[in-house]
Structure 1
């Protein structure tokens, strides 16, 4: 325990906290936490599977803090979305299982294909319908897409929240509600994936804790900023982030 405390209060611990903080803010606002978190952790020498496991823990904790806030404020009813929670957690477990079996190169290929498909969807949508509509359980009837995204999230992750935000915007949710539902899915998929990584002994607590603390702080800051986000900014920023993520993955493939 003493060794862990020394790691958490060290310069490396501060760097990890900062990475988690910035990643969570970007993740809440635009669904691209992986664009900051994973490359940054790989850059400081953390192995790929350990990075993914820590990413799932940190993202899951920060998403949980958001979900608790939503429930307390009455913005979200978890009972209403219990099937979405079930399928996304199952997808997270399945994705983590595949990640342990697959090589890093194959994982990068899968990530690249998924992000290119998401990029095409965003580009082809000249505008999102973001009118306020009555929230009902039947509003989200297709669980297959969130389930598939959760598999990708559990096994790799970068861009998964962005894919979910895009999906909910296409389903005619307003941007704030799309973010809320995406955080619910992120919590359940990351929890399922993390539990699998934990029981396979991949988690490094010396890394996971400072990143998670930064993620919690960043997630609350991100929620404070969301009401000031203009939808025209989203139209501009979403395809840019998709493109940058694709460039990052392709760069890893050709190294």
Structure 2
């Protein structure tokens, strides 16, 4: 039953995450509710996101929605951030990590209400003093914890005035890069519970393909209100579950 639950969580969380970011808002709290240790839950997210995010990026790349030449520089920047964040997280105890996770989850939830989506598509993606530090900082956050990372990236790309469908692909590419770096750290430190992680991964692959196809027709503002409601409910559930 636990395996089926993780598969379904992976589908739902990754579908939502592909459309507007914040899939970790769903998968991470749900895994904690199922009883997974904090580090193992984060590690499972990183491993599954590494593969599922690359699959959705590849779909858009094959449809020529993205230029690899224009976006390739995102990989080392996000990878470096993910490695940095994963290393920092591996040095924090399970109990302290739980407290940090709750604080960051609430912070990311509040942050999701900020920013005004533009996605005008008037500018190409460029390396500059705003995009590089922004992506590296979000990569650290993703490696350290994760939920809200995709949403923050959407806000970053919106401010850079690229199109929404490009933003979807670039968020998935950046997520692949930072999650790959973080996943290496979690695997190396033995935090991964592989049977549970594989179930989440299979669900995430399915959700990635569903989400990227919906994204080609759907605007992000239709997804964000639902995401915020679900996030709020899950935050309350985790706090109550930990308090009881």
Normalising by the smaller structure, the TM-score range is: 0.7 to 0.9
> Cα RMSD over matched residues?
2.8
TM-score (normalised: structure 2): 0.85
Shift in alpha-carbon separation, 1:83–1:247, aligned structure 2, 3 A: farther
Matches within 5 A, 1:209-224: 209-224=198-213
1:206-233 per-residue CA deviation (whole Å, 9 max, x = no partner) reads 1111110110011100112113323543
TM-score (normalised: structure 1): 0.81
Query: Does 2:68 match 1:78?
Result: yes
Cα pair 1:152 1:160 within 8 Å, conserved: yes
Counterpart of 1:4 in structure 2 is none
Query: Does 2:142 match 1:153?
Result: yes
**1:24 Cα offset (Å):** 0.8
Shift in alpha-carbon separation, 1:120–1:15, aligned structure 2, 3 A: closer
Matches within 5 A, 1:31-180: 31-104=21-94, 106-107=96-97, 123=113, 125=115, 127-138=116-127, 142-180=131-169
Instruction: For structure 2, list consecutive stretches of 5 or more residues without a partner in the other structure.
Output: none
**1:140 Cα offset (Å):** 8.3
**1:13 Cα offset (Å):** 2.2
Cα pair 1:176 1:226 within 8 Å, conserved: yes
Counterpart of 2:190 in structure 1 is 201
1:68-114 per-residue CA deviation (whole Å, 9 max, x = no partner) reads 21222222233322322101111111111111112355545655665
**Rounded Cα–Cα distance in structure 2 between residues aligned with 1:248 and 1:178:** 31
